[in-house]
Amino acid sequence: MNDDVTTIFEQFPNRRREDLIPILHGVQEIHGYLSEDVIQAVSEYLHISTNKIYGVATFYDNFRFGPVGKYHFRLCHGTACHVSGAGTLLRELEKLLKINNGETDKNGLFSLEVVSCIGACGLAPLIEVNEQYYTNMTLDGLKSLVRSIREKELSSL
């Protein structure tokens, strides 16, 4: 694990304070989330206190502190999606996946995250699952999406 982090550190040899967020992004890209060990490593590298880094990272929605599931649902909750029913979709999705916003389920299959505007307002409401976009989402569409993933996973067992 440390090797991956070091490769990112090498891209920022000046150890400046403003390198913090790019480093955190890089680390999250590799690990999927920011673990305590990683934050401590960054803290030692940049000489910024762990708490300060934790404070910065919790300020932004983009950083996660736990692993994501195999299927990571990102539900857009921008203005356009909101008026076209993202709230209803969220409630339905929480029911379907049996997890709340920001959580990962026990077997690590699903995780759910509400994000602010993805930038495809013309196609609202939309959901992104592992970088695949599902546009003009409806409740039925949502159900069949989750069902198809479940079936796919079951058949591959």
Nearer to other proteins, 52 or 152 (CB): 52
- Rule CB under 8 A: is residue 101 a binding residue for other proteins? no
Distance between CA atoms of residues 31 and 92, nearest Å:
29
Q: How far are the Cα atoms of 32, 67, 68, 146 from residue 109, in angstroms, in the given order? A: 14, 11, 8, 11
State in angstroms the smallest separation of the CB of 40 from other proteins. 9
Dist CA 118 CA 11 (whole Å): 28
Residue nearer to other proteins on the CB measure, 12 or 54: 54
Q: Which residues between 30 and 59 bind other proteins (CB under 8 A)?
A: 36, 39, 49-52, 54-55, 58-59
Q: Could you give the angle at the alpha carbon of 30 between the alpha carbons of 29 and 31, nearest 5°?
A: 100
Q: How many residues bind other proteins (CB under 8 A)?
A: 11
**Shortest distance (Å) from residue 148 CB to other proteins:** 35
In degrees, rounded to 5, the angle at the alpha carbon of residue 91 between the alpha carbons of residues 120 and 143 is 75
Query: Rounded to the nearest whole angstrom, what is the least distance from the CB of residue 43 to other proteins in the complex?
Result: 9
Residue span 54-83 as binding mask against other proteins, x where in contact by CB under 8 A, dash where not: xx--xx-----x------------------
3-state SS string for 61-130: CCCCCCCCCCEEEEEECCHHHHHCCHHHHHHHHHHHHCCCCCCECCCCCEEEEEECCCCCHHHCCCEEEC
Q: In whole angstroms, how close is the CB of 93 to other proteins at the nearest point?
A: 22
Q: Name which of 90 and 142 has its Cβ closer to other proteins.
A: 90
Provide, rounded to whole angstroms, the least separation between the CB of residue 35 and other proteins.
Answer: 10
Name the residues that contact other proteins, by CB under 8 A: 36, 39, 49-52, 54-55, 58-59, 65
